[in-house]
Structure 1
């Protein structure tokens, strides 16, 4: 018997387009036919013999390549999903072994298939060349495949779930709760200021009327006259006026401080939102460096835009709240002049100098006792709307939901 090499291909690349993670194996394919010595010279002179065997071997080789390529594509998608879901190295290794076991089985099937294909080719040739019908051949097929691998190391690709910006998201929700609480406080203070103003104005009207009586030459006499007139009733007096004035000043000061705190808290939300975005995209960038996806920049741009879209409504709600509190603060600051005027009238009631008292009484004739422009109800209604707007944004900062929207349709989409 004389050996005749039909095909001997070494390290044939299995090329598959679109793979992101799988590094396909290489195949070495050898087919050897052992011919009877009596037909060796005839075989060399007959190209048909070699062509038939080569064609049969090529068909098996092509089928084997196609089968392995399909498996590589299937496993490639699986690996991408596993990486994006934070699969462990052990899980990745298990699946990689599964791919290689499947390829080894395909190689065994191909060896047997090539042997059968060559045998059939010989049978067909014998029918065409009757003089070969008495000869026998021996067919040897050897297919060796390397192991499939991954584009980068399993350790590098087996990533943990995203956490970049999670701390900022948690802080934002805390600031939102604080902002809602501050807004409620501002609303309550505004109502208290409104009530204190009304009490003060009413008390001033009564006490100033009594103090304008020429028969009374001192504040204590004015107070006494008021007490006598309203004996047995919670009557207006210099003391009630001063108490109402103190309450009004204290509540106003508290409200201004609360407004400042609310404004600063809302600004912190936007600052933390920028921090959230920066930290999240930094983590995305780091994971993309390890990811086998080809166009990393496009993925980063896609995720950045999606994150902006996911944050847009939240940003708008918080910015709207900032605009509202600034407008309300401006309106409330205008109350200051009116409150100062009221405080001057209160202070005037404590004048004990007869000359000054006379001047005061003359001034009362021209005092404007109408309602002041202080409108606590307007502020209270405004901050209620503000609180609802900011509070409604809290759900938009839930980290898992936010990042899921940002990663939707990208290589990190775990859906």
Structure 2
């Protein structure tokens, strides 16, 4: 972050307001000049004096405060701003911004601000999932506002769910990317696959795996936040699509193969994080297979599915980067190295899913990143967002190396 960049921090009514104090401190340490605006609801959680001490500047709370008789406060602040950050962003301020309401210092100043805006929602999961909130967030994104996805975890209400304000360090990463928007990934067209494919046995049964899609979705989110144009080709999951990411939904491996091969020629990068079925039923019944007194056994004949990465290898151009995933239960490095070579991949992300906390259907992962011209990079066990950052770091370095 360049010195003396102007960041206007808007703090609204949420228990997460205390995190904004740490964010203010990080911004100041990075060299930014910070001015804070607080809503009345925010003052119920944290005092303006706390922000004033950290920022060394008066905190704006009142439309009619008249701090400077020679200027209109909310316009002066808007013109001063290089980046506006709303953290935490309550459902109320999100609704105001999406619908053009301006009845307090925060909403007035934000409406007048032409600089980029970063919204960091923080609220109970039920409020976040309310159709009105979803519509308002979608409207803001259509208007060019950057929206940072909330975290999952323990909420103030005493149970776990989505809606937690991300930690200040994560918000700082997004801020730096917005203030220094050019990265090796800026403008790159990236395909990311995620989730577990489904292979039909009959209209009501299918073969699948334990993939939740969380790793692929985390990678898609991280790539988008670094400026890439991301298309997420996803098998069924229960996850929300990351803000700013285009979603293409698929069911089977053949659906996924068709979507990938049709989009790959115009892509710069492919990240195959989906858990793809290696086999499918040779025949899928048109009607539900019924259990009768005569059929104590059901024999399924399976046949191989399309090898998507093998197909992609034939289409790949020298400037394109392909990244594969390998979920193994034994001989991790040997099996992963063979896949790296046989599928002509630039990077391969391997994990041993037999280990606790690693791989499918969990919130954590531990991977080893392989490249033909590098020593293996083994990560620590961490949440999947952290692993995604480390994987994307390696992709970014690959782009820089290859020019």
Structure number with larger C-alpha Rg: 1
Q: TM-score by structure 2 length?
A: 0.20
Instruction: Work out which structure has the larger RCO, using CA pairs closer than 8 Å and 6 or more positions apart in sequence.
Output: 1
Q: TM-score by structure 1 length?
A: 0.20
Of Structure 1 and Structure 2, which has the larger fraction of its residues in strand?
2
Of Structure 1 and Structure 2, which has the larger fraction of its residues in helix?
1
